[in-house]
Amino acid sequence: MKLVASIFCLMISCVAFAQHQALSQLVYEIRDPSTDSAHFRQALEKIGEYLALEVLDELETTEESITTLMQADAKHQIVQETPVLVTILRAGLPLNNGVQKIFQNSEVGFLAMSRNEKTLKADVDYIALPDLKDRCVIIVDTMLATGGSLLDAVRIVEQGCPKKIFVIAAIASEYGLERVCEYNPHIKVFSAAVDPVLNERGYIVPGLGDAGDRSFGMKHLVSMPTS
């Protein structure tokens, strides 16, 4: 499976499949149906931290010199820019908490999306974004399944004219990744796992189930009261 995913990622240039052992253990934990919601969210946070470090490596650096107590200079490549995080409610929240631990001073934008389980298209219910002009933006969502939600998010973010868009996802499907790369090959997606199958309900297989439900509990549909 790992090998298949790696070969797939080599074929799609905009995907970075982070593969180290710590991440693999965390993905195992979120896939495990017996992981309770507290540990599920904790594991997602940790995955967010690791993937954020991968994005950090992609940001522009400048050479800075520091004079130490030994009266000697040391030169370092330092990241100066602070990316804007944009997370998709609700399943993106635990992953975003982890990303924020790395980018502590980042502004955070929110998009509330609900995927219609029949059409598999997302309705956008709420948009709250900071100024994105000429900024690096990291869109954070736990699952990249059909790619519909992410592509909607990308189109919304693009209206703000950012300099560069990155995506952090815990688990992505091959199909979703292909759609994103086809839409814009300059968007770089960082994912802890790439899965081969999307079932007829648009769920990733093997995946982990419903990320929002596993993080926060099952949704019970309530219709708007009429006034």
Cβ nearer to ligand PRP, comparing 60 with 210: 210
90 touching ligand PRP, by CB under 6 A:
yes
Least distance in angstroms from the C-beta of 187 to ligand PRP: 14
Q: Which is nearer to ligand URA, 85 or 91 (CB)?
A: 91
Q: Number of helices and strands (H, E) in the chain? A: 7, 12
Nearer to ligand URA, 40 or 190 (CB): 40
Rounded to a whole number of angstroms, the minimum distance from the CB of residue 45 to ligand URA is 17
Minimum gap (Å) between residue 121 Cβ and ligand URA: 13
Q: How many CB atoms lie within 10 A of CB 83?
A: 26
Contacts (CB under 6 A) with ligand PRP, residues 133-172: 141-150
CB 43 within 8 A of CB 218: no
Q: Does 192 help bind ligand PRP (rule: CB under 6 A)?
A: no
Residue 97 in the binding site for ligand PRP (CB under 6 A): no
> Residue 203 touches which of ligand PRP, ligand URA, none (CB < 5 to 8 A by kind)?
ligand URA
Which is it for the CA torsion 30, 23, 151, 93, positive or negative?
A: positive
Return phi, psi of residue 86, to 5°.
-130, 120
Q: What pairs with residue 123 in β-bridges?
A: 114
Considering the complex, what minimum distance in angstroms separates the CB of residue 71 from ligand PRP?
A: 53
β-pairing verdict for 164-173 and 122-128: unpaired
Secondary structure string (H, E, C) spanning 147-175: CHHHHHHHHHHHCCCCCEEEEEEEEEEHH
Q: Which of ligand URA, ligand PRP, none does 204 bind, CB closer than 5 to 8 A by kind?
A: ligand URA
Could you give the angle at the alpha carbon of 215 between the alpha carbons of 9 and 89, nearest 5°?
75
Binding site for ligand PRP (CB under 6 A): 88, 90-92, 113-115, 120, 122, 141-150, 176, 202, 210-212
